[in-house]
Every structure is written in structure tokens, then in C-alpha cells.
Amino acid sequence: MLDGRDFEEYHRDEILKAISYLPQESSKGGALTVFEATMLGKIGSLGWRVKEEELSSTMNTLKMLGIESLAMKCMDELSGGQKQMVGIAQAIIRKPKILLMDEPTNSLDLSRQLELFDLIREITWFSNMTTIVALHDLNLAARYAGNIILLNRGIIEASGIPASVLTEDMILRVYGVHARVTLDDEGIPQIIPISSARKCRLKEMYAMC
């Protein structure tokens, strides 16, 4: 369902306008500049002549992500992390209703990861947008997600606020990992992996021999 309507009732153009998707792989672009590659995020609404407002929107998006200095650089000159940031710029420039992101912190260092999710949370809030992110980093998910859906072999194992989903029992069941889970002052789970259940079983089998 999207805005109370069955997804199949939507025309393809409506879906393209409402939803942006950032794949796991970094953006490609070859000889395109960062500015041009970012503007392509609006391809569905661009005409033969680019309007001044579209140029301004592109530069504002780059500034928002802190990569305006890269605007005239060619995509094939960028690092993996910089390409990832351009991909994010492409995804948000259309101001979609729903933003889908697959491991958006690939190729980003820890500082950039936190900066990115702080920004995405702010954009989500002020744009009244729904953001759905696929993540393997449970601590990052716990810190930023309002709700978590935990998948186990493609099946929903649990869903809800992070504190109700990311428990020691659930982490053991889904990931086969013994972990210590505590809540910080804001009620956000802090997960510390201890050992894998498989390793423990191997030790037990070895001790029996």
C-alpha cells in the first residue's frame, strides 16, 4: 500500500515520481561530472532545456551533502565513498515520498556514516518522507531507526522499535551470535557481540573427543 492505495493501482510514472532507490553499488557516471550525474536524478522531469531552478536544486543538494566542491569533477575521478555520496544526492534530489536505500554506508568511514544518517534522518523528518534502509550494522540501525524489521532467511522474524526487536535472544536466534545488549540513557540498544553459537558448539564437540 502507498498512501492508502494498492501498489498495483499506480501507474509506472507515479511510482517513479514517488519512490527513489539507492542501490548497494556506488554510482557510475564515466565522463559525467558530479553536477551532471546528480541532476540525472531528476531525469523524469527534465526537459530539453535545463531550467534555472533545476540548476539551483542540484547545487543545493550537493551543498546539503557537503560535496559541492566535487561538482565539476568527473565521476571516474572519485573514490568509492565519494561516488556513494553522489548516488545519495541522485536519490534525494527529487524529494520522493519514499526513499529506499541498500547499505548506503558502503565505502564510507565511521565519521561519514554518522554524518550521513544524521542528515538522512533530518531530511526524512522535514520532508515528511518515509525512508527504508537495508542494513547489516545492528548498532547503526538501533541508533537511527524508528522501527526495525528483522529478516531471517527472507521471513519477518520480528518488527517494532529497536529496543523490542534487538534483544539477546533474538540476536542468537537470527544470527547465531551470543551478544550482550544494554540500553543507553535514551533507551537505544547497544550490542556487543561475544561469540558465535557455532564456535561454542565446536568447542563442546572438541571437549567431548
Range with lowest mean pLDDT among 121-130, 138-147, 151-160: 121-130
- 127-153 in b/e form (b: 16+ CB < 10 A) is eebebebebeebbbbbbbbeebebeee
- Axis crossing angle, helix 80-92 with helix 52-64, rounded to the nearest 10: 130
Confidence of residue 198 (pLDDT cuts 50, 70, 90): low
- pLDDT tens for 83-95 read 888 988 888 888 8
Instruction: Report d(CA 57, CA 38) in Å as an integer.
Output: 10
Domain assignments of the chain as residue spans, ordered by start: 1-134, 149-209
CA distances to 5, 54, 70, 93 from 73, in Å = 42, 19, 5, 19
CATH numeric code, 1-134: 3.40.50.300
Q: Which residue reads 553522489 in cell numbers?
A: 86
- Tell me which residue of 138, 141, 88 sits closest to 116, measured CA to CA: 88
66-77 residue pLDDT tens: 899 999 999 988
The listed range with the strongest mean pLDDT (22-26, 36-40, 77-81, 129-133) is 129-133
Q: How confident is the model at residue 26 (pLDDT cuts 50, 70, 90)?
A: low
Q: Would you place residue 2 in the very low, low, confident or very high pLDDT band (cuts 50, 70, 90)?
A: confident
Of residues 33 and 41, which shows the higher confidence score? Answer: 33
DSSP string, 92-144: HTT--SEEEEESTTTT--HHHHHHHHHHHHHHHHHTT-EEEEE-S-HHHHHHH
- Average the pLDDT over 128-149 and give the result: 93
Range of weakest confidence among 21-25, 56-60, 99-103: 21-25
130: confidence class by pLDDT, cuts 50, 70, 90? very high
Question: Alpha carbon of 151 to those of 174, 175, 193: distances in Å?
Answer: 8, 10, 19
